[in-house]
Chain A
Amino acid sequence: MSIDRTERMITGDLAALSADSRRGLRPFAEMMPSVSAGVYRDDRASAEAARNARADECRRELALMPMALAHTFAHRVGRAAAGGAAIAGSVVLAAVLSEAWLTRLAAEIVPGLGLPLIVALLGGAVVLAYALGTAIAEVVFARRMERAIATSADPHADLETLAAGPIAAGHELVRKVDRWSIALALGGLIAVVPLVSYLAFAFAVIRSPAAEMLSVHALERVPVGYGVDVMMAVIAGGLALAALVAQACDRERTRAGLPAWVERLGHWIMVPLGFVLGLVVLIASLRMARAFQLHGTQAATSALVLLTMGSVASIFMPAAWALLWWRRREHARLGL
């Protein structure tokens, strides 16, 4: 069937439907007898009947609700909590490394503080935050579902409460945490990985017994704080970009789609691009470390900024792709 013929057919059928919908309309006074005659002296009984029927429907809806809705909400909250813990841990780590006296203080408070313990503490905090976040989210979801099917003494108010139903309430919860799960998860990765990598490099270039043991005491006489300050400034820019991605995802429904630049971030090409960029950053970092070892040459600020930007970008691109892909998968499962 040609496109023109189909279009004419659709237009004609819609016109027929419009005429059909207006056929047989009774006079207005007949359609509104209760309003014109004042029959509604007390509509409570009918409201209660409608409320009870709707409450039954909601309970059946809740009983048959797919588990995917609760799981998606819980895991999104978990990701947001883990990302938040990673960002907080990075801020603490950056503060400890930025000043020599803080580094000494931390080493005295936490005996044996070194790179392995730092990684373990950060990793442990992230995992714990994820577990706690999902557990709390499950409780919140269950309580919201209870409210979605609850009834009271006021049937009219109940009809309003029950109007949406538990599935709509669940969808709303999932949408509410969408941007936080994207922003904090992306931000956590951007904050942690470059900082820990910088720390690992610092231990690699410093020649001392403490450095060989990966102890923070090795950092007391080496000006790593300067590099950390520069890195945190660049990482802050990366966090702002993560917030923009999250905002675009949050507005997807009202804007009928994601902006073009976010759509491109969701393309699989981001993974190999991030990998290649990471390799370039690694090679440049090794050359810089070698120069420091051989000649004591400290990296220029501009070089440090570029390296950090490259490092952040090499993590941002594949991480954004992964999070956007996972989000699309969740939405496909939930029919959002």
Chain B
Amino acid sequence: MELTRARFRRLIEPVHDGALAFARSLCRSSADGDDLFQEALVRALAKLDGLRDDGAFRPWFYRVVVSVHRNRCRRPWWRRLVPFADRDHDRASGERTEESVAGAERARIALAELPAEQREALVLFELEGWTVEEIAELHAVSVSAIKSRLARGRDRLRAIYVERFAVDLTPRPSLVAGGS
């Protein structure tokens, strides 16, 4: 067990920050993302003996994150009814302007309305800088399937933005808890 933990620590360290940011981007709040990431860590640690090639740890671990995320997405509707905003994060600070706070919240709201497959592909491609080939390998589908998901996801984002944010370029007050 000590060897397994040491191996896991060595493998997770270089991908930790990127995977945590990915988990946070998939969820409606950073707290949910941290929770998702912790669950993925526990799952990955339990399954580490099944990983034959340490060089493939990065896509393998991201697959675990995606799997945990999809399982959460399948939860009954009453578990997803109230998304809690980060009360510590929804105020602008010295590091963040009002515009960047609002922009990040808009992006979270819009991404949450996409199907899980499109959301994951867009976050990996646009936010994490993965290539289309890497995303296709992660999801075990063809490159054209990923390109189609990216195109449809982007089209859907555009439609959501035009429909929701066209009036005054800010989200409706009821969607931002404790908003300023």
Contacts and interface: CB of A to CB of B under 8 A. Distances in A.
A332 interface: no
B145 A254 contact: yes
A64 interface: yes
Given A6-B158, A165-B74, A257-B148, A20 B142 contact: no
Contacts, number: 135
Contacts of B111: 17
A255 B145 contact: yes
Interface stretch (B51-59, B101-109, B172-180): B101-109
B144 A35 contact: no
A48 interface: no
A39 B73 CA distance: 30
Interface in B119-152: 122, 126-128, 141-142, 144-145, 147-149
| Dominant secondary structure of chain B at its interface with chain A | helix
B5 A35 contact: yes
Contacts of B126: 11, 14, 18
A163 B67 contact: yes
Contact of A61 (B16, B74, B104, B161): B74
A256 B148 contact: yes
A295 B24 CA distance: 83
Interface residues of B, number: 60
Contact of B75 (A6, A47, A57): A57
A1 B166 contact: yes
Nearest to B14: A28
Contact of A21 (B5, B9, B24): B24
A236 interface: no
A16 B103 contact: yes
A13 B2 contact: no
A282 to B, nearest CB: 43
A35 B75 contact: no
Interface in A35-55: 35-36, 38, 40, 43, 46-47, 50
Given A40-B5, A61-B74, A21 B158 contact: no
Contacts of B60: none
B80 interface: no
Most buried by A among B21, B41, B149: B21
Given A17-B127, A64-B76, A159-B43, A24 B30 contact: yes
Given A17-B127, A38-B2, A163-B71, A3 B158 contact: yes
Interface string B156-180: 0110011001100100000000000
A221 interface: no
Contacts of A25: 17, 20-21
B87 interface: no
Given A7-B158, A23-B96, 20 more contacts: A10-B107, A11-B126, A12-B103, A16-B100, A16-B104, A16-B107, A17-B108, A20-B100, A21-B22, A21-B24, A21-B127, A22-B21, A24-B89, A28-B13, A28-B16, A31-B20, A35-B45, A156-B46, A255-B142, A256-B148
29 contacts: A6-B158, A10-B110, A10-B158, A13-B106, A13-B107, A17-B104, A17-B127, A20-B24, A20-B100, A21-B22, A22-B17, A28-B13, A31-B20, A35-B8, A35-B9, A35-B45, A36-B9, A38-B2, A43-B42, A50-B42, A60-B76, A61-B75, A159-B46, A160-B47, A164-B71, A256-B144, A256-B145, A256-B147, A257-B148
Interface of A: 1, 3, 6-7, 9-25, 28, 31-32, 35-36, 38, 40, 43, 46-47, 50, 57, 60-61, 64, 156, 159-160, 163-165, 167-168, 253-257
